């Protein structure tokens, strides 16, 4: 599965509601953000707290254009938590942190406008 960063891309094929339910998107709070110099594309290593049921998961995120390491802890983000872990350089990424492309295709994190409990599932 490859995501597109092209805002003009056509809508994806129609899916059934059960297909949507199969993608487990949860809210979590970034508890740690570290540099990731080994990544091929500029990225940060994140630790995200998804609450007591899922716990803290790691993610690699290409968000260096809009965010500094110092401003990320405490920010809530959405992530897919049921993809298999993926090796990215020396780190194992456990969740896919979600964002949208800005006008230049740089990632803007997807966050709720009001704080919500960690672990809440998107519906």
Q: Could you tell me which of 10, 99, 81, 94 has the C-alpha nearest to residue 45?
A: 94
Query: Given a cut of 70, is residue 117 above it in pLDDT?
Result: yes
pLDDT range class, residue 4, cuts 50, 70, 90 = low
pLDDT range class, residue 29, cuts 50, 70, 90 = very high
SS3 at position 18: helix
At residue 20, what are phi and psi to the nearest 5 degrees?
A: -60, -45
pLDDT range class, residue 9, cuts 50, 70, 90 = confident
d(CA 100, CA 4): 10
**pLDDT per position as a tens digit, 70-82:** 999 999 999 999 9
pLDDT range class, residue 1, cuts 50, 70, 90 = very low
d(CA 22, CA 82): 9
d(CA 82, CA 38): 25
Count of C-beta atoms within a 10 Å radius of residue 31: 14
């Amino acid at each position: 599965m490859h995501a597109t960063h092209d805002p003009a891309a056509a809508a994806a094929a129609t899916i059934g509601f059960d297909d949507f339910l199969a993608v487990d998107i949860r809210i979590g709070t970034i508890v740690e953000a570290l540099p990731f110099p080994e990544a091929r594309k500029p990225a940060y290593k994140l630790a995200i707290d998804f609450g007591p049921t899922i716990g803290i998961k790691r993610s690699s995120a290409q968000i260096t254009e809009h965010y500094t390491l110092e401003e990320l802890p405490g920010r809530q983000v959405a992530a897919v938590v049921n993809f298999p872990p993926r090796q990215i350089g020396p780190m194992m990424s456990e969740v896919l942190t979600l964002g949208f492309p800005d006008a230049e295709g740089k990632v803007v994190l997807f966050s709720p406008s009001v704080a919500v409990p960690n672990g809440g599932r998107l519906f």
